[in-house]
Amino acid sequence: MLADRQVSSLFMTGAHVMAEDSTKDATPPPAAGQQGGLGFSHRQILVTMSGLVIAMLLAMLDNMIVAPALPTIVGELGGLNHLAWVTTGYILASTVATPIWGKLGDLYGRRIVFVAAVALFLLGSALCGMSQDMAQLIGFRALQGLGAGGLMVGVLSIIGEMIPPRDRSKYQGVMMAVMPVAMIGGPLIGGFITDNLSWRWAFYVNLPLGAVTLLVCWITLAKLPRGTGKAVIDWWGTALLTVWITALVLITSWGGTQYDWSSPQILGLATLVIAAFAAFVIVQRRVAEPIMPLRVFKSRNFSLSGAVAFISGFAMFGAMGFLPQFQQFVQGSSATNSGLLLMPMMIAAMIVSLGGGALISRTGHYKSLPIIGSILVTAGLALFATMDVGTSTTVSAIYMVVLGAGMGALMQTSTLIAQNSLDLRDMGAGTGVSTFLRNMGSSLGVSLLGAVYTSQLADSLTSAGPAAHSVATTATSMTPQTLRALPEAAQHLFQQAVTDGITALFTWGTVVAAAGIILSLFIRQVPLRSAATPAASPEAEPVAAGR
């Protein structure tokens, strides 16, 4: 309730303040010690963030609400073999769109671009709820993802433009105030909707909240610069980016399942990835306004934080996307309860993220957080890889706490390190690149781990012999309700197959996460900038690190 009162107060104050400020040609000089990155006062920053917290709630609720509904959605619309694509289509589209939205914000102003992203997200949400088959749902999830790509990068870019890195953590407390609502309430709402209404309302629920978001953001973001709008969009780079990312995700989704790794289809896609990526790099080096400016990678910290963000996205969506399968099919939880069972991971992530932000704001030190976070993520995934049919909800909850704590240490810190390495001119595009890398990890993680899961599940049923034949024929359309109607022996066979798929998935996830520990060791402790300090150049990092 306190968070709700804070947001409501900010909105009411914001409407009044923005009405006054919109008549002025320039922002009045804020009091000493109260300046943000562009001279925003403390009050103006809080007013602007009132719209951003609602937008963040919208984005986070969508991810949290859908996860508990996935088993029912897949069973009703078409099949287990499409499970990964319900999530992959969304993440892939948002991944491709993220750097585009970031660059559009740099060119045309963050207000109009951010509002457009919210509107597109809401259109996709409405169409997802009206889907009649799996192909439609995947397509509309992709449309929703195109809008979602602008939500997160928009929020991060706006904050990065207004507030210098050293002061940023102080204001993230306002942003964090809505996270408990999304993290805890989202899975519960999603599970309740699935059990008592229809999974379609997991998408429709975005619409009223989104309407409020559009109104609030249009009012409170009026103080942001409008952008020059003089440069042209790098459409060639955008097209090539879309081609090589899509081909790469198809390889990880189809390789070893629908097609052999040595098949002409997979080899052809691999060739397309290499050719399109090479052409993409050439274009980015030559165009005046590249969609992904390669100069940001000259900073060692930016590159390393991006790699760590990639790995954290890989791990997070691997856990979130497939844990409900184990909870509902093996542990016997309802959709509502499976959402409730995710709470330990959410709460741990929230607490560590808040604590880490406070620590960074007070001390300016951040180097240890990526290391600790990577270790905890790896440990959490390794623990999940040891689960069996008899693993209790209490034990899995302990594993979630470990994984959630690691995610909380990584997510905020990787973005902060990346933004501390950027010039203001690259804030939108650079933040888009950082978010792109995290989304790319999520997209590849879901598709690759999803392929591992479905392949291992099918192999487990096949190896069980004739006794599992009837179960195997219905596996692609199995729902928790259908499973409970089967004989006990058949239930056990399917539950063992699900467990085999889950443990294989987390074993591979552990291997990937372990690479994050090594990468995080090489991140340098570069002093966080104040409002008057320019971005640290890549060449200056070794000197700063030694302070």
Average pLDDT score, the chain = 74
CA distance 522 to 302: 11
CA distance 505 to 474: 22
Task: Quick: pLDDT tens for 202-215.
Answer: 888 888 888 887 88
CA distance 436 to 444: 12
Distance of CA 94 to the CA centre of its chain: 9
Helices (H), 177-296: 179-180, 186-196, 201-204, 206-220, 235-254, 264-286
Averaged pLDDT, 526-539: 51
Q: What confidence score (pLDDT) does residue 346 get?
A: 76
Averaged pLDDT, 59-83: 69
Output the CA torsion sign for 379, 385, 391, 396: positive
Asked whether the beta carbons of 494 and 474 are under 8 A apart, the reply is no
CA distance 359 to 366: 8
Q: What percent of the chain has pLDDT over 70?
A: 72
| Residue from 71, 80, 85, 82 nearest 472 by CA | 80
DSSP 387: -
| Residue from 184, 361, 432, 39 nearest 48 by CA | 39
Helices (H), 326-392: 335-341, 343-363, 368-384
SS3 state of residue 260 = coil
Distance of CA 441 to the CA centre of its chain: 9
Task: Quick: pLDDT tens for 215-261.
Answer: 877 877 776 666 655 556 778 888 888 888 888 877 876 776 677 87
CA distance 402 to 397: 9
Q: What percent of the chain has pLDDT over 90?
A: 7
Query: pLDDT grade, residue 279 (50/70/90)?
Result: very high
Averaged pLDDT, 163-185: 60
What is the residue type of 135? A
Asked whether the beta carbons of 257 and 455 are under 8 A apart, the reply is yes
Averaged pLDDT, 409-420: 76
Which two tokens mark 68? Answer: 């508990």
For residue 274, pLDDT beyond 90: yes
Lowest mean pLDDT across 44-58, 162-176, 256-270, 405-419: 162-176
Length of the chain: 547
Asked whether the beta carbons of 291 and 100 are under 8 A apart, the reply is yes
Other beta carbons within 10 Å of 507: 16
What is the residue type of 117? A
- Give domain limits for the chain: 2-234+287-525, 235-286
| Residue from 179, 523, 524, 520 nearest 378 by CA | 520
Lowest mean pLDDT across 121-135, 318-332, 390-404: 318-332
CATH topology of domain 2-234+287-525: Growth Hormone; Chain: A; (1.20.1250)
Report the predicted TM-score, pTM, of the whole model to 2 decimal places: 0.67
Q: What confidence score (pLDDT) does residue 307 get?
A: 87
Asked whether the beta carbons of 102 and 426 are under 8 A apart, the reply is no
Most confident of the ranges 141-145, 150-154, 526-530: 141-145
CA distance 362 to 523: 20
Higher pLDDT, 136 or 226: 136
Asked whether the beta carbons of 18 and 49 are under 8 A apart, the reply is no
Quote the Cα angle for 520-526-531, to 5°.
130
